[in-house]
Amino acid sequence: MGSAITGWGEALPERVVTNDDFAARLDTSDEWIVARTGIRERRMGGTTSELAIEAGRAALKSAGVDGSEVDLLVLATTTPDQTIPATSAVVHDALGCKGGAFDLNAACAGFVYALVTADSLLRAGHRRALVIGSETLSKVTDQDDRSTAVLFGDGAAAIVLESGMPDELIVAYDLGVDGAATPLLYANHGGYIHMEGREVFRRAVRCELDSITNVLTKAGIGPQDVALFVPHQANVRIIEAVNERVGLTMEQTAIVLDRTGNTSAASIPLALAEAADAGRVAEGDLVLLSGFGAGMTWASAIIRWGQEGLAR
């Protein structure tokens, strides 16, 4: 039995930080940031659990489901509120969910890892999962370091995943990690993000290209068969470089990074939720999700959109 995405929702902190806000106190400019990254503003504020609860609540509402009908919660985050317990425990309690809950850290590929994990557990017998990506990256970014401060933001988005579909949700997926690349992008406990930007950029393009090629091949489809491409929202130049090599167009691609910056595990569900709200996906459409990040970690999935035939 397969599963379907039956609801989605998002949460963004109210405080908007524009490129000009950075330019007012750091040696940078709106022109530099937009030209190198495509980012114009990002949101900052809240805690990872607060944002996750708000996004989770919105997703439950959109699915018409009560928290008590959820029997699995997976929270993808690299910025948990505390070391112990998992942030998902706090979210599970606030939303009144049943069953198990756990945090999953696969950096900016976290949401796709979480989706694949939740879908597998639904096939193993769970009924309904809440899958959330939530981050407060502003807390682990040195706001005085122009090379990282301008890139990251805070936010969350969630989906409800329900079993009961005749067909599988995930047509093909690919998960990977190369831990030897850890020195390129990391944050120690209590420390800030350290990043070798240029090398991360180069590897991001390469590993996303390989991962997308892998899932397209597994699914037996070409780029033209993808109705919507939802990439990790780190840098529009990375997305353009990948698209050009894969043969995807910007018209097929969901972009929110101009307004959110890089929100790590929240970026793919934020872009997916916005595209779904805008009616950019229809029953039966193939949607490609692909993320990469610290590790280096990567994950891609091709999913079939829609809930026709769902037995509830």
Query: Which amino acid, 65?
Result: V
Q: Binding marks (x or -) toward ligand COA, 270..299, rule CB under 6 A? A: -----------------------x------
Query: Does 189 sit near ligand COA (CB under 6 A)?
Result: no
Query: Does 203 sit near ligand COA (CB under 6 A)?
Result: no
Query: Does 19 sit near ligand COA (CB under 6 A)?
Result: no
Q: Binding marks (x or -) toward ligand COA, 97..126, rule CB under 6 A? A: -----------x------------------
Q: How far is 110 from 121, CA to CA, in rounded Å?
A: 16
State the DSSP string of 115-142. Answer: HHHHHHHHHTT--EEEEEEEEEGGGGS-
Return the exposure string of 119-155: e unless at least 16 CB atoms fall within 10 Å of the residue's CB, then b.
bebbeeebbbbbbbbbbbbbbbbebeebebbbbbbbb
Tokens of 154: 């805070």
Query: Does 147 sit near ligand COA (CB under 6 A)?
Result: yes
CB 109 within 8 A of CB 299: yes
Give the binding range for ligand COA (CB under 6 A) out of 69-77, 81-89, 196-204, 210-218: 196-204
Query: Does 192 sit near ligand COA (CB under 6 A)?
Result: no
CB 109 within 8 A of CB 292: yes
Q: Binding marks (x or -) toward ligand COA, 221..260, rule CB under 6 A? A: -------------xx-------------------------
Partners of residue 228 on adjacent β-strands: 287
Judged by CB under 6 A, the number of residues near ligand COA is: 19
Q: Is 232 a catalytic residue?
A: yes
Query: Does 37 sit near ligand COA (CB under 6 A)?
Result: yes
Q: How far is 194 from 273, CA to CA, in rounded Å?
A: 30
Q: Return the residue of 150, 236, 270, 275 that touches ligand COA, per CB under 6 A.
A: 150
Tokens of 82: 């505390």
The catalytic site residues sit at 108, 232, 262
Residues that bind ligand COA (CB under 6 A): 28, 32-33, 36-37, 108, 146-147, 150, 195, 197-198, 200-201, 204, 234-235, 262, 293
